[in-house]
Amino acid sequence: MKSDRFVIGSVVLLAAGLALLFGFTSGSTGFTLGYPLSATKLHVDITTIGMPALAGLPLVAAGALLLFIALIAAIASQFSQPESRDAPDLPSKRQEPFHFEE
């Protein structure tokens, strides 16, 4: 089972969902550096209203689900046997000598 298509799909869905959620955000962020370091604060306030919130959240959820499926597929492919391809017993052109016709 190849997981490359699942990864591509999950990245597209996650990027679209996060772009909708963060692109239409009205909020504020703040960072306070304090001494001692335990007084340092990071505050992020994200508010997305309307259609981007309704479309963005399911896209992020679907992308996360596809990413989880891709992880399971990648783990399963590590333990599976590679497919053996039987070569026909016909002579190959590379094994034949060159013949020049005049």
Domain count, the chain: 1
E strands of the chain, at which residues? 28-32, 41-45
Supply the range of the domain harboring residue 11: 4-80
Establish if 93 belongs to a structural domain: no
- Contacts for 56 with CB less than 8 Å, ≥ 6 apart: 16, 17, 18, 19, 20, 21, 48
Question: Hey, what's the torsion of the CAs at 31, 48, 15, 51, to 10 degrees?
Answer: -170
Establish if 37 belongs to a structural domain: yes
Establish if 55 belongs to a structural domain: yes
Spatial distance between the Cα atoms of 74 and 65, rounded to a whole number of angstroms: 14
Query: Alpha carbon 102 to chain centroid distance?
Result: 59
Establish if 41 belongs to a structural domain: yes
12-54 pLDDT per residue, tens: 999 999 999 988 888 888 889 888 888 899 888 888 889 999 9
11-22 pLDDT per residue, tens: 999 999 999 998
Establish if 27 belongs to a structural domain: yes
